[in-house]
Amino acid sequence: MSGKELDQTLVLIKPDALKNSLTGYVLSLLSEFHTGLRFAGTKIVHVSKMLAEEHYAEHRGKHFFPPLIEYITGLSHYPDEPIKQRVVAIVYQGIDAVPKIRAIAGPTNPLVAREQKPGCIRSLGTLFPIKDKDGQIIDQRMDNLIHASATDLEAEREIKLWFMPNDIPPYMQGYATKKSERHFYFKDGKLSEDHVPGSFCIVAPGDIVWESDLAILHAIADGTPSKGTLESVVAKYLVNQIR
Ligand code: CDP
Ligand code: MG
């Protein structure tokens, strides 16, 4: 397979799409028949605050950040139904996966999407006003049905954030992996190499890990400068484990 054939992108079918029964419609628009792309991985995720905040880290500090976290974790659309608080996460693969899916998704703002690209997925979205404590509208949240990686670099960061290598068939894995020779445990925001009561075993010797994740774990454990946060590595290992 050529390099371009391994192009990958992350799609999230967000809680508003699930609530409106648009999952099948979205999957049909993104099918191999329409896009030439294939599934490389898929999972149903109860999105933790940690995963949500890492995924949208670039938006920290903006007015729409807290409502966005409520949206992607399912709290906005299903406040009283934890059973329904989830997203469908999909890795698509094939030539130009990122621009092909961004084009079908359309502009971020559903109003702009309706004006500029009627029929695109996000043209079916809605706007939700964000108010300050005095009830004044200060921004708007854009409920736009799907997330789609914007660049190849973003796709790599996001796929590694949501998926473990073994969630993806070996010949479809687009990024370097490595076998761990060490144990890593996580508890209360801290990494350790020894098990303590209540800690989660994130990685054990023999586990296949993204090579860049392993470098981050080694750096943090050894107290040397790390190229990423601990949360960016561990979030996917805690997916569907923590309520
Ligand atoms: O998703 P995309 O990459 O197109 O847009 P973004 O600028 O990276 O923003 C991420 C997500 O934040 C959007 O898809 C919207 O759901 C949300 N957003 C929002 O609620 N209000 C804004 N003013 C901008 C973005
Ligand atoms: Mg973005």
Which ligand lies nearest to the CA atom of residue 157 in the structure?
Answer: 2
What's the mean pLDDT in 193-203?
Answer: 95
**Nearest ligand for residue 139 CA:** 1
**Long-range Cβ contacts of 240-243 (<8 Å, 24+ apart):** 240/44, 240/45, 240/46, 241/200, 242/48, 243/46, 243/82
Q: What is the pLDDT of residue 4?
A: 81
Residue 71 Cα: closest atom of ligand 1: 16
Per-residue confidence (pLDDT) for residue 236, from 0 to 100: 97
* 34 has a pLDDT exceeding 80: yes
pLDDT recorded at residue 241: 81
Q: Pick the closest to residue 213 from 163, 151, 138 (CA basis).
A: 163
Q: Whose CA is nearest to atom 3 of ligand 1?
A: 150
Contact 227, 215 (CB under 8 A): yes
pTM: 0.96
Residues 164-184: what's their mean pLDDT? 97
CB 199 within 8 A of CB 192: yes
Catalytic annotation, pick one of 147, 183, 195, 218: 147
Per residue in 140-150, pLDDT (tens digit) is 999 999 999 99
Checking if the pLDDT of 6 tops 90, the result is no
Q: How far apart are CA 166 and CA 102, in angstroms?
A: 26
Residue 112 pLDDT greater than 70, yes or no: yes
Minimum CA distance residue for ligand 1 atom 25: 142
Report domain extents, the chain: 4-170, 177-238
For residue 2, the model assigns a pLDDT of: 56
Q: Which fold has domain 4-170?
A: Alpha-Beta Plaits (3.30.70)
Closest CA to 73 of 87, 61, 63: 87
For the chain, the average pLDDT equals: 96
pLDDT at 243: 61
pLDDT of residue 50: 96
Q: Give the C-alpha separation, 168 to 99, whole Å.
A: 21
Atom of ligand 1 nearest to the CA of 72: 16
pLDDT on residue 201: 96
